[in-house]
Structure 1
Amino acid sequence: MGKTLVINLENIIFQGDILDVGEKNLGIIYNISKEAKDEISLDYVSSDSKVELKDRKYDACTFFFELNKIWTSLEKERLIREISSYIKESGEIFIWDINKERGKIFNNKIKVILQNEKVKEFTFKNLNILLNSNIEEIKKILEKYFEIEETKAWEDVFFIRGKKLKTKAEVEENINYEGINYSD
């Protein structure tokens, strides 16, 4: 096993309904959301639950060490595009993941610092030498659907936070609304 990587989530605060993307939940997002003062709804997306999501809109979406498991950039973009349709206008996306080059493996302990001095530890492995994961690839995909508001990279881990961009239809609706003459 490699090194211990520390992720400090003490100051992460979610507002409203949260969509947590992932097959295997580590309980991290749940622990952050249950500390919120307002009532929050936390839903998990997996291949089985997609049908239930079609009529929902979320204030935030989280990916916690999930995108690195997807084989191609096209598949990552397809997932992010689909997820963006479930996020409200001005909703946010939060991504924590690994920087891993093709031909390398990732086998490290992750120590997550949560609110109220709670700590969760787990070992995260991506032993597939054919998979590639990096912050630049994810930023390039996200910029099509989100305005990147924050990025951080340390050791072999990165964080990206973005705000949903208005769709073309939403922009046109605002232009038509703003173009109305109210002086009549």
Structure 2
Amino acid sequence: MGKTLVIDLEDVILEGDILDVGEKNFGIIYNISKEAEDELSLDYVSSDTKIELKERKYDACTFFFDLNKIWTSIEKEKLIKEISSYLKEFGEIFIWDINKERGKVFNNKIKVILPNEKIKEFTFRNLNVLLSSNIEEIKKILEKYFEIEETKAWEDVFFIKGKKIGTKVNEEEKIKYEGTDYSN
């Protein structure tokens, strides 16, 4: 086993309806969102729930150590694009993941500091030497659908926060017609 990586989520606040993407997140997202509201709406993405998701719009979406398991950038982009369609206008995305080069493995303990001085610890492994994951790749994909508001990278872990932007066509139309006088 490698080193222990610390992620401080004490000040992270997730509000509103939250869509959590991933197989398992060790209760982390639930713990930081329940601190924000007594009434929590937290939905999880799986192939079984996709039909239900199309009927809803979310305030925020989270990825907690899940994008690194996806094989290609194309597949990652397809998922992020789909997720953006489930978010409300100006909805937020929060991503915590690992920096891992192809040919390397990730086998470390993760210690997460939660609100109210709670601590969760788990071991996270990605032993697939064919997979890669890095902050620059994810930022490049996100910039097509989100305005990146915050990035952090430390040790072998990164965090990205973004806000959903309108479609480029809508933005261009808005600029094109701003200041036009239609009173004639």
Structures share fold, TM-score greater than 0.5: yes
- Structure 2: stretches of 5+ with no match in the other structure: none
d(CA) in 1 for partners of 2:117, 2:152: 22
Give the secondary structure class of the aligned counterpart of 1:111: strand
d(CA) in 2 for partners of 1:48, 1:123: 27
Query: Cα distance, 1:165 vs. partner?
Result: 0.8
Alignment root-mean-square deviation, CA: 1.9
Residue of structure 2 in register with 1:43 after alignment: 43
Query: Cα distance, 1:176 vs. partner?
Result: 8.5
Residue of structure 2 in register with 1:123 after alignment: 123
d(CA) in 1 for partners of 2:144, 2:183: 38
d(CA) in 2 for partners of 1:88, 1:102: 35
Runs of 4+ in 1 over 6 A off after TM superposition: none
Residue of structure 2 in register with 1:99 after alignment: 99
Q: In structure 2, what residue type is equivalent to 1:87?
A: L
Residue of structure 1 in register with 2:25 after alignment: 25
Residue of structure 1 in register with 2:111 after alignment: 111
Instruction: State the TM-score, normalized to the length of structure 2.
Output: 0.93
Residue of structure 1 in register with 2:159 after alignment: 159
Please state if 1:67 is matched with 2:53: no
Q: In structure 1, what residue type is equivalent to 2:167?
A: T
Residue of structure 2 in register with 1:3 after alignment: 3
Residue of structure 1 in register with 2:83 after alignment: 83
Query: Cα distance, 1:177 vs. partner?
Result: 8.2
Q: In structure 2, what residue type is equivalent to 1:32?
A: I
- Structure 1: stretches of 5+ with no match in the other structure: none
Q: How many residues align?
A: 184
